Structure 1
Amino acid sequence: MATPTPKFINVRGQLMDLSIPKIMGIVNVTPDSFYDGGQIRSNRDLLHKVEKMLADGADILDVGAYSSRPGAAEVSEKEERKLATHAVSEIVKAFPEAVVSIDSFRMTVARASLDVGASIINDISGGELDESMFDLVIERNVPYIMMHMRGNPQTMSQMTDYKDIISDIIDYFNFKLSQLTRKGVKDIIIDPGFGFAKTREQNFELMNKLELLWMLDVPMLCGISRKSMIFKTLNCTPDQALNGTTALNMASLMKGASILRVHDVREAKETITLFQEIKNR
């Protein structure tokens, strides 16, 4: 099985080996996320969810306080920062060894979250929605996950006109990688952005040709958990999309994903275990 070059990222002075794929568990503290919005209403809910994710095998906990589903309501910077920093600080206090990423496109939210214990930035806009985000990444020298997206969560569903979706995504990342690497940033992960400014058909074209992103020579995160490309294709609901998620998680791994961003950690862990058995034969 052909695979991309193994990579390591430096997280708080420790090397995380991505030659064995890692699991990023989604911890949404928003009331309106498309699948699990409103599930966390208290510290007890938060810590119970995190404890289960860690026990099930999560390597990274991705805290988000701004729903990025298509058409999501705007959340003020102040409210997002308040929700995110509270969640991050509670997690690292209860689980000091946990690796926490902050899912935000706002530099101020990312900075405040790093200050209370987050150690990775996960930016759905790749610096497009806050031009000061790259300055923070350079200053703090933390791993940076940058996703491909057009527009913002309110407008992205109308911005799906590509000349060639794979070439356009590669060009997008090439430009941004050159900006960051020239400034000395080493730990960069790309996310092709399934479901963001892409139609259902474009999402499947992207999945079919995902291995072409290896030419960028950086680790890749895939986040397809319970997304509409699954439940619309299978004519079901997000609640019923776990089996489809598992199928596409395996496809992502076969095509070079180093990190799976998921709602369901145990099932993702089983998928990676089976993938490793295939890969090592």
Structure 2
Amino acid sequence: MTLDLPLSARLYLRPVQLADSPVDRDGEVVRLAGGLSWCSAFELIAREGGKRILQRTIPVADLPDDPRIAAILQRITAPRAPLQLGERIVRLDQPQVMAILNRTPDSFSDSRALREDVDAAASAGVDMAAAGAAILDIGGESTRPGAAEVWEGEEIERVVPVIRKLAAGGAAISVDTRRAAVMAASLQAGAHLVNDVAALLYDPQALDVVVKAGCPVALMHSPEPQKGPHGGDGYADVLLDVYDWLEKRVEDVVAAGVDRSKILVDPGIGFGKSLQDNLALINGLALFHGLGCAILLGASRKRMIGALSNEAPADQRLGGSLAIALKGADAGAQLIRVHDVFDTVQALRVWRGLRDSALVAR
């Protein structure tokens, strides 16, 4: 197929018509990021001057012969390298669970004992790992709207003792923080991955810490990361705007010395986004494979679930959280960040069983 695509236009490929198996479909489907999802078509989008000038669904075999499209397609299909996290290797050829372990006073998800007692928090982390979590994500600052900022010394006191205990037991650990000093202290205590809701833009020293450590990093989109995770004035086209922002941020972090294979991207569900924005990002999640990085999806117990279920409180959002987790798995997301580890792992194991069955030649 030949299309008149101006060189000045930005091109995007969103995998659509997702399939659970390539069996008997040679040449008709392509595999997403070396994972367990395939697609038989792409939504080709061309954007110029901030507006979509082309949006067309094209079968895999009919994609235009354009080097720009070929470059995006290569990133979409390239397998994602496993993460080496201490002694553990986390494979990214299937969806994995990242467990949330908050140590913030206003956390809506964890008990008071976990917030106040280091041993209780470490024990909870052990239970999460036993339930099937591949990575434990430990945080000491609330990112809820309106939350008060935390002094970095206090944040370190909250997370480092728990990280040290869990690292000694061999767990794969991520630290959820925006602050360079917390990153450095946590990595020294045994953390293996930095998960930053500000994409290393809040603290001027954060990027340098990650580069020197040589550790994997998760870069999350938020509209105004230097000010805080919430805010912004809206989007012209949320899916493409977030994609462009993350693409630029990935390129800057790679240029600073971080290997692309160690970068995860997170569209930032619930951070400076409306309900409709969040839904558009989840529906369009497969677009982000075009960045050539593993995708981290974090929507567990988010406010959007309550908005769609008669304002259900945070502790009654399991069903919605599972629905989004499975939607993410279908789209090829490699990491699903959740509060409810056992239930999500179980759901993903059933999802994996269905995939394995579909891969058996008929």
Q: Give 1:257's aligned amino acid.
A: A
The letter for the 2-side match of 1:44 is D
2:241 matched residue in structure 1: 168
Change (3 A) 1:19 1:241: same
User: What residue is the counterpart of 1:278 in the other structure?
Assistant: 354
Indicate the residue corresponding to 2:163 in structure 1: 88
Is residue 146 of structure 2 the alignment partner of residue 71 of structure 1?
yes
- Give matches, 1:167-206, under 5 Å: 167-186=240-259, 187-206=262-281
User: Where does structure 1 differ by over 4 angstroms across 4 or more consecutive aligned residues?
Assistant: 152-157
Instruction: Report 1 or 2 for greater relative contact order, CA contacts < 8 Å, sequence distance ≥ 6.
Output: 1
Cα RMSD (Å):
1.8
Name the residue aligned to 1:130: 203
After superposition, the C-alpha distances for 1:195-253 in whole angstroms (9 at most, x for unaligned) are: 00111111001111111111111100101111111012101111110011111110011
Q: Which residue of 1 aligns with 2:92?
A: 18
Question: Counterpart of 1:113?
Answer: 186
Query: Is the 8 Å Cα contact of residues 143 and 229 (structure 2) preserved in structure 1?
Result: no
Distance 1:191 1:273 in 2: 23
Contact 1:33 1:68 in 2 (8 A): no
The answer on whether the counterparts of 1:30 and 1:38 sit within 8 Å (CA) in structure 2 is: no
Deviation at 1:160, TM superposition (A): 4.6
- The 10-residue stretch of structure 1 (110-119 or 147-156) with the greater mean CA deviation from structure 2: 147-156
What is the aligned-residue identity percentage? Answer: 32
Alignment of 1:141-156 (within 5 A): 141-151=214-224, 156=229
Stretch deviating more after TM superposition (12-21 or 158-167): 12-21
User: How many Å separate the matches in 1 of 2:88 and 2:228?
Assistant: 39
**Alpha-carbon deviation of 1:151?**
2.6
CA contact (8 A) 1:122 1:145 kept: yes
Q: Deviations over 1:32-54 (max 9, x none)?
A: 12333634121232122112111
Instruction: Give the Cα separation in 2 of the matches to 1:47 and 1:104.
Output: 18
For structure 1, which segment, 185-194 or 44-53, has the greater mean C-alpha deviation from structure 2 after superposition?
44-53
Structure 2 runs not aligned, ≥5 long: 1-18, 20-30, 35-78
Instruction: Report deviation, 1:92.
Output: 2.1
**Could you say what secondary structure the match of 1:220 adopts?**
strand
Q: Is the 8 A contact 1:34 1:69 kept in 2?
A: no
Is the 1:160–1:198 Cα contact (8 Å) retained in structure 2?
Answer: no
State the alpha-carbon separation in 2 of the partners of residues 196 and 172 from structure 1: 14
SS at match of 1:174: helix
More strand by share: 2
| Cα drift, residue 14 of structure 1 | 5.4
TM-score by length of 1: 0.93
CA distance in 2, matches of 1:86, 1:253: 33
Mapped to 2, the partners of 1:48 and 1:87 lie a distance apart of 9
Q: Deviations over 1:37-96 (max 9, x none)?
A: 634121232122112111101111111000011111111111111211122112223x2x
Please report the TM-score for the alignment, with normalisation by the length of structure 2. 0.73
For the residues of structure 2 that align with 1:211 and 1:167, how far apart are their CA atoms? 12
The whole-number CA distance in structure 1 between the counterparts of 2:111 and 2:104 is: 6
Distance of aligned partners of 1:48 and 1:9 in 2 relative to their CA distance in 1, 3 Å threshold: closer
Q: Is the 8 A contact 1:72 1:154 kept in 2?
A: no
**What one-letter code is carried by the residue in structure 2 that aligns with 1:69?**
R
Kept after mapping to 1: 8 A contact 2:222/2:230: no
What's the secondary structure of 2:101's corresponding residue?
A: strand
Q: After alignment, is 111-120 or 27-36 more displaced?
A: 27-36
What corresponds to 1:259 in structure 2? 335
Compared with structure 1, are the counterparts of its residues 157 and 181 closer, same or farther at alpha carbon in structure 2 (3 Å cutoff)?
closer
Q: Distance in 2 between matches of 1:160 and 1:39?
A: 39
- Answer yes or no: is the 8 Å Cα contact 1:102–1:118 preserved in 2: yes
Q: CA deviation at 1:255?
A: 1.0
Would you say 1:51 and 2:126 are equivalent positions? yes
